[in-house]
Amino acid sequence: MRIILIGFMGVGKTSVGRLLSKKLEFDFIDMDLEIEKSQKLSISEIFNIYSESYFRNLEKNLLKDLLKKDNLVISTGGGVVASKENIEILKGEENVIFLDAREETIIKNVSNDSNKRPLLEKDLESSIHKLLKYRYENYIKCCNYIVNVDFKNIEDIVKIIESEVL
């Protein structure tokens, strides 16, 4: 079994994935961390030194590799649904969980470390609004389950996944 967490920046994909994997005794891969390790660069450095499309290519190749593995929880980056090819790949998976949140929740969660997220410009609210508007239907297209994370802590979200999805 493979569980794939998708959703916008700041919805808690990494923390939820890590805790869920512990409970299930599955391996855990956070795609951004994996890319940073393999490139020996931070995500921002990859965007700045190379480009977004360079990063997207690494992301796409990593996703394909990970989907060959089993007993794994995967936390994707928020932009994994920016690629049509990734959307098609994810549609073929059984346990794609969309962590959904209101814009207010996302703004609150990313405001402390928006400098780690190269796509968020100085006007945080409007860049989140624009990106989310364009991506929302892609998250919906790819997922088998939607879990709303507003006002919930990581434990609560994992419990919902365990009871409703697994």
77 touches ligand S3P by CB under 6 A: yes
Cβ proximity of 161 and 20 under 8 Å: yes
The least distance separating ligand S3P from the CB of residue 113, rounded to whole angstroms, comes to 9
9 touches ligand S3P by CB under 6 A: yes
143 touches ligand S3P by CB under 6 A: no
Q: Transcribe 63-97 into DSSP letters.
A: HHHHTT--SEEEEPPTTGGGSHHHHHHHHT-S-EE
Helix (H) or strand (E) holding 28: strand 27-30
78 touches ligand S3P by CB under 6 A: yes
> Interaction with ligand S3P in 33-62: which residues (CB under 6 A)?
43
Which residues sit at the interface with ligand S3P, rule CB under 6 A?
A: 9, 13, 32, 43, 77-79, 117-119
